Chain A
Amino acid sequence: MSTAPRIQRLPQTLANQIAAGEVVERPASALKELIENALDAGATRIEIRIEQGGKKLLQVGDDGCGMGPADARLALERHATSKIATVDDLFRIGTLGFRGEALPSIASVSHLELTTRLREEAVGTAIEVKGGQVGEPRPMAMPPGTRVTVRTLFFNTPARLKFMGSDRTETGHCTETVLRLALGHPGVAFRLHVNGRETVNIRAGEDERAVRERLGGVFGGDFADNCLEFSGGREEVRVFGWLGLPTLNRGNQGGIHLFVNGRWVRDRVINHAVREAYGDTLARDRHPVWALFVDLEPQGVDVNVHPTKQEVRFQQRNLVYGIVRQAVAGTLATMGARTYQAPDRLPDQAAMALEPEAEPEAAVIATLPPAASRPVHWDAPSPRPPREDRHRGDSWPPSGTSHGPRRVAETPREDPVGQIPFPDLSAPVPPPPAPDPPPAPDLGQPLAQIHGTYILAQTATGLVLVDQHAAHERIVFETLKQAHAEARLERQLVLIPDVVELTSPEADRLRQALPQLAELGVVVEPFGGNAFTIRELPALIADCNPQQLIRDLLHDLDRYGHSNAVTQRLDAVLATMACHGSVRANRKLSLEEMDALLRRMEQTLFSGQCGHGRPTYVTLSLAEMERLFGRR
Chain B
Amino acid sequence: MELYVEREPFLKALGRIQTVVERRNTRPVLANARLEANGEFLAIAATDTEVSITTRCPAEVEHSGGLTVSARKLYEIVRELPDKPLLLRQDGDERLTISCDQARFHLVGLALDQFPDIPEMEGGFRFSMSTGDLADMFAKTHFAISTDEGRYTLNGVLLQADPPKPDSPETVARLRMVATDTHRLSIVENPIPEEAGRVENPIEAILPKKAVQEIRKLLEEGEANVELTLGERQVRFALPEMTLIANLVEGRFPNYKRVIPEGNKLLLNIPKDPLLAVVKRMSVLSNEKSRGIRMQILPDRLKVTTTNPEQEAAQEEMLTTFDGPGMSLGFNARYLLEILTVIGGETIRFHLLDEDSSVLLTDPEKNNFLFVLMPMRI
Contact = CB atoms under 8 A, between A and B. Distances in A.
B151 A545 contact: yes
A548 interface: yes
A577 interface: yes
Interface of A: 480, 483-484, 486-488, 490-498, 536, 538-540, 542-545, 547-548, 573, 577
Given A487-B308, A495-B184, A495-B374, 14 more contacts: A483-B311, A484-B309, A490-B287, A491-B376, A492-B183, A493-B376, A496-B259, A538-B290, A539-B290, A539-B291, A539-B292, A540-B289, A542-B290, A577-B289
A494 B376 CA distance: 9
Given A480-B309, A492-B332, A577-B289, A543 B256 contact: no
Contacts, number: 82
B224 interface: no
21 contacts: A483-B310, A490-B287, A490-B290, A490-B376, A491-B377, A492-B374, A493-B377, A495-B183, A495-B358, A495-B372, A496-B180, A496-B182, A497-B182, A536-B377, A539-B332, A539-B378, A540-B290, A542-B183, A543-B181, A545-B151, A547-B150
Interface secondary structure of A, over-half rule: mixed
A543 B376 contact: no
B374 A487 contact: no
A545 B289 contact: no
B92 interface: no
Nearest to B292: A490
Interface string B306-344: 011111000000000000000000101000000000000
Give the size category of B's interface with A: 35 or more
A495 B185 contact: yes
B256 A496 contact: yes
A479 to B, nearest CB: 9
Contacts of A577: 288-289
Interface secondary structure of B, over-half rule: loop
Contacts of A545: 148, 150-151
Given A540-B289, A542-B290, A543-B147, A495 B376 contact: no
B208 interface: no
Contacts of A493: 183, 356, 358, 374-377
A548 B148 CA distance: 11
A493 B332 CA distance: 10
A496 B185 contact: yes
A486 B309 contact: yes
Contact of A495 (B180, B290, B308, B311): B180
Most buried by A among B150, B374, B375: B374
B254 interface: yes
Contacts of A494: 182-183, 374
Nearest first, the 5 closest Cβ-Cβ pairs linking A and B are A539-B290, A483-B309, A487-B309, A545-B150, A495-B374
Contacts of A498: 182
Contacts of A495: 180, 182-185, 259, 358, 372-374
Contacts of B184: 495
Interface in B268-290: 287-290
A191 B265 CA distance: 85
B56 to A, nearest CB: 40
Contacts of A480: 309
Contacts of B376: 490-493, 539
B159 to A, nearest CB: 19
A573 B185 contact: no
A376 to B, nearest CB: 42
Contacts of A547: 150
Interface string B55-83: 00000000000000000000000000000
A348 B370 CA distance: 77
B182 A490 contact: no
Contacts of B372: 495
Contacts of B310: 483
A545 to B, nearest CB: 4
A490 B377 contact: yes
Contacts of A491: 376-378
Interface string B285-307: 00111111000000000000001
A539 B374 CA distance: 12
A480 B259 CA distance: 35
A539 B289 CA distance: 8
Nearest to A544: B148
A491 B377 CA distance: 5
A139 to B, nearest CB: 78
B165 to A, nearest CB: 25
A496 B254 contact: yes
Contacts of B375: 493
Contacts of B288: 577
Nearest to A545: B150
Nearest to B331: A492
Contacts of B377: 490-491, 493, 536
A213 B110 CA distance: 68
Nearest to B288: A577
Nearest to A538: B290
Nearest to B147: A543
Interface string B336-378: 0000000000000000000010100000000000001111111
A490 B358 contact: no
A607 B185 CA distance: 43
A584 to B, nearest CB: 18
Interface in B233-262: 254, 256, 259
A495 B148 CA distance: 15
B287 A539 contact: yes
A547 B154 CA distance: 14
